Every structure is written in structure tokens, then in C-alpha cells.
Structure 1
């Protein structure tokens, strides 16, 4: 037999189902199963089963049948204000989530490499400042790929297309990478930069490992490991070394064009790679992330 005045602490909270609790709440507030079913746009038998399931979960009787409909038991009366507060909290949570999805205010994190941060982002950030002044952009600069699935960033620009199915990617542009050197240094390698003798050149690289040398080998250029005289894992430091005349290195054509006295050396074809804007699937529901992503597409694709 039920204990009408059982304390709320006796309820089996571990098996609590909000769908059933909502059925109880609407039934209590409308006074009948039929009115509650209409309010929740479901059949009366379905609603009745949800209320009965809620009573079974809690181990109490919540309603008594009376001639004019339903009457709350003492346990139901005791429970009602708590469930009503939960309903209000759920409504507020939905409003907050909706605001987060539609507002262009708050923070959003963009992960990019040093080169992209220094030479590609200015028009993107300037445009967002005009169109979404309440948006705070945090630029996370790293030459390692951030893990969007772990939310290390909201959006990233990568030099490869992601393979994870839960990421959304858009190709921004293709880049051509050539060999460059400072004019004065190039002049020491031959009569003109196009015919530079790179067999006696010093090279500047991100490392002296096989990947870069293999890429150069595909161009017909065999570079010995000992020729890599300056190394740095920083893209910008490598670019500064090139400008300072320390040797020959690779740079995207767009970046080299903004760096003053650098000249292309050798008559080798370019190495190509693509830039991709990448975001988590929240891109589809968050106005903040969508605004940043769309701005990257608009201003870096050109």
C-alpha cells in the first residue's frame, strides 16, 4: 500500500524521467488527462501511461480520480512545486541555448598556424569587427593541428582536409610554394636567381628530416641533410632567416610577395597544398561559429 505522505527523499531519483515528470506537471496544472494530452499534442492513453510510469518510478500515487476529474494526492501536492521549478528551469535552459545559438556575442576560438595568423587574418578580423562587434575572437596560434573534437578550438584553418566524419570542412584556396632567398644571398649562387646553383646553397628549414628533402626531391632537387644550416619549428623565424640572407627556404608565394627583397631561386615547379576551414558540427547551430567560418571563406578564398 502507498504511503501518501512519504517524504520526497524516498523517491527513486536514479530512475527519474523528465518526459514522465512533464506529463505529471501538465496533468496537475490542467486537471485532467484529456486536457493535458491536448496541451502536449499526444493521445490520452499515451499521456496516461507516462503518468503511470512516473508513479511507478517514484513508488507513490500522485492522482486520485474524483467525479470532476483528477485530484492530487498529498504526495502529488508535495511533489508539484519541485517539478514546477524543474519545468521553469528547463524553459530557461532552452531560452539560454537558443540565445547562444542565435546571438553574435561572446567568444569563439580560431586555431591557425603562424603564417596564416600573420598573413591571412587581418581582413577576416577587420570584417568581423564591423559586422559582429560583440564577437570576441581568440586566435590560438600553433603549428600543430588542434583537436576540434575535444573543443581545443571552435574553428581551425588547416593545410590538409580532415577525415573525421563529424567535422565540417570547406576548401579556402590552393597555395603554391616556391624556393626563395634574399636578393643578396641569391646573387652569390649564380648570375641570376633563376639559374642559382643550389648544390652549394645553405638551406633553412623547419627540420632537416626526410619529409622536406623528399618533397624537394620530387622537384628534381636533391638536398643533403648537411645543407640545412638553420632550422626552426617557427614558420615566422624561418621567414625572418630568409629575409636576413641566411640561405634558401620554402614559402607560399602569397607570403613571399609581402616580404620585400625575397626572390624566387631556381626554375623549379611549385609544391602545392590547400587551405581548409574546419569546424565541428556545431557550425550548423551556432551563429557565432558560423559568422567566423563564413568570414574565413569570404576573405581567404579570394
Structure 2
């Protein structure tokens, strides 16, 4: 059954349409309510009201989730187009959609912002001098949906339905310390040789300790006398000879003040993701920055061959 009606005669409530769109994309009312930051009963009433307004059934319940009816699938195409059009109108009204001028906010960890971004931004300044960059540096995750940043460099894939994510590469992280500190440890050869070493802790959850012990180090909380959630502070402590720290191998191997601890040890691996709001498809200046970051940060490194 097709949804046959004169769309010009429908007085569309965008809140109801958005409720339908996110529910369709998330697959359940509970997930959609979390994505929109609203109460599930309120969201359900908006979807019910849209069905009543249109006179069709949009969803069929399957277990704990929903599946679209044929009418719902047809409507979904229209609502998605409406959302994209509304976003473009908003951007054009601000004079930003096609301009290669203006500000782009990039969220990244302190280490990535300080070490990886500068050479990329040099290229950006040469290509598009009209684009201003604002760096949001920190260990927390900026909320792209609230425009705390336009683009974010993250170590996990986002779950929000209105964000676009591109996996750039897997990052090997290794242990580093100063040559002098490694000598004081007796030039360890095996993981268990680090059982008396000091580590600079960057994790309050205990996962770092658990991960190290999973490699056979036999550590306790006493092995972590210094705690910081700031990666630059941690890295400064490591370069100052206070202990061992974990770092992206691309950054660690380029630092002359340190060297790898247990060079043959298998690296810890985490992913690098480039994340942006969907307006990356309609804002040229955001797209330019996004594409440059993807190209530069996604390049293979010598470590990738190991």
C-alpha cells in the first residue's frame, strides 16, 4: 500500500516527523528517545500523532523493536529529504553553506592537537586561508550535535544517528620511557621485569592496569604513583624520567627524549575515527577541513607494516 496523498495539503509538524525519522533509524522508541534526549512516552505520542494525522500505520512492532510498514518506508524517504533541505536552508540563511570562509571547530585529544594537527593546519592555511580553525583540546568528548565542535578526532565509533564517522586507521600504542629510566630498571627484557616500575596513569577505571597485567607484568596500584587524565601532562612526565607511559607509536617514535620499553612487545591497538555532523555534506568549509584531515591522518605509517 503506497502512501498516496497530496503532500502540499499536509500541515507537517517537524517535531513529529523528526520523532518518526529517528525511531526509524534507531529501530526502537527507547533508542530514539536516548538519541533525541527526550522521554520515551513523549516520543511515542509524537509518532502516534503523526500516524493519526496521516491516517496510516508507519510501524509494526517486532519483538522489542519496530519495523517500517510499506507506507513508513515511503514516508521515510520524504522526511529524510525534508531534514536535509531544512539543514541547507538554515546554512544558507547564515551565509555559510557555500562560503570557504568562517570558523571550523576541531575537537581532539591534547596530544593529537599539539603534535599531529599543526603540519596539517599548515597545509590548510595554504589551501584555504579564509578558514579559521578553533581547536577544542581535551580528553572529554565534545557534543557535535550541540555544535561544541564541527569535527572530532575520536578513538571510538559514535552511536548518534545524525553523525557521520569515518575510520581512519588502527593506531598501535606502545610503552615509552627515557633511556635513563630504562637503565635504572635494569634494561628489562620481559613483561614481568616491569613489576617494580612506575607508570604514569591516565585511566581512573583500572582498565590500563588490567591491560598491562594481561600482558604478564604483575602490577598493582602501587605501580601507578602519578595520575593525570591529560595526555600532554602524562607525556611530559614520561619525558621527564618519572616513569613509563603509553603513547601512539607515531608520536612516541618521533620523540628523541624517549625510547620504547620492551620494543618487541605487542602494541595496544585502538582505532582513530573522524566524526562530523551531517552538515559536512552541505557546508563546503567543513567538508574541506574534513577531507584534508581524513587524507592526512589516514595515511599509512611505518608502524602499520609491523
> If the length of structure 1 is used for normalisation, what is the TM-score?
0.65
Match of 1:177 among 173, 178, 181: 173
Please, which moves more after superposition, 192-201 or 223-232? 192-201
The 3-state SS of whatever aligns with 1:245 is: coil
Please, which moves more after superposition, 98-107 or 163-172? 98-107
Match of 1:220 among 206, 216, 235: 216
- What residue in structure 2 maps to residue 237 of structure 1? 233
The 3-state SS of whatever aligns with 2:141 is: coil
Q: CA deviation at 1:104?
A: 0.5
- Tell whether the 8 Å contact from 2:177 to 2:239 is kept in structure 1 after alignment: yes
Match of 1:194 among 182, 189, 199: 189
The 3-state SS of whatever aligns with 1:226 is: helix
- What residue in structure 2 maps to residue 284 of structure 1? 281
- Tell whether the 8 Å contact from 1:173 to 1:274 is kept in structure 2 after alignment: yes
- Establish whether residue 300 from structure 1 lines up as the match of residue 297 from structure 2: yes
The 3-state SS of whatever aligns with 2:175 is: strand
Q: CA deviation at 1:171?
A: 1.2
Q: CA deviation at 1:96?
A: 4.3
Q: Distance in 2 between matches of 1:281 and 1:110?
A: 15
- What residue in structure 2 maps to residue 133 of structure 1? 129
- Establish whether residue 204 from structure 1 lines up as the match of residue 231 from structure 2: no
Q: CA deviation at 1:298?
A: 1.3
The 3-state SS of whatever aligns with 1:298 is: helix
The 3-state SS of whatever aligns with 1:200 is: coil
Q: Distance in 2 between matches of 1:139 and 1:238?
A: 20
Q: CA deviation at 1:234?
A: 1.1
RMSD over aligned CA atoms reads 2.0
Aligned length: 210
Q: Distance in 2 between matches of 1:270 and 1:253?
A: 9
Q: Distance in 1 between matches of 2:228 and 2:91?
A: 49
Q: Distance in 2 between matches of 1:241 and 1:255?
A: 15
- Tell whether the 8 Å contact from 1:193 to 1:264 is kept in structure 2 after alignment: no
Q: Distance in 2 between matches of 1:177 and 1:193?
A: 19
- Tell whether the 8 Å contact from 2:103 to 2:132 is kept in structure 1 after alignment: yes
CA offsets 1:122-160 (integer angstroms, 9 cap, x no match): 122111101111111111111101111111111100011
Task: Write out aligned runs for 1:102-113 (5 A).
Answer: 102-113=98-109
Task: Write out aligned runs for 1:76-95 (5 A).
Answer: none
- Establish whether residue 114 from structure 1 lines up as the match of residue 110 from structure 2: yes
- In structure 1, stretches of 5+ residues that fail to align are 1-16, 18-92
Task: Write out aligned runs for 1:17-36 (5 A).
Answer: none
Distance 1:117 1:199, change over 3 A: same
Distance 1:95 1:232, change over 3 A: closer
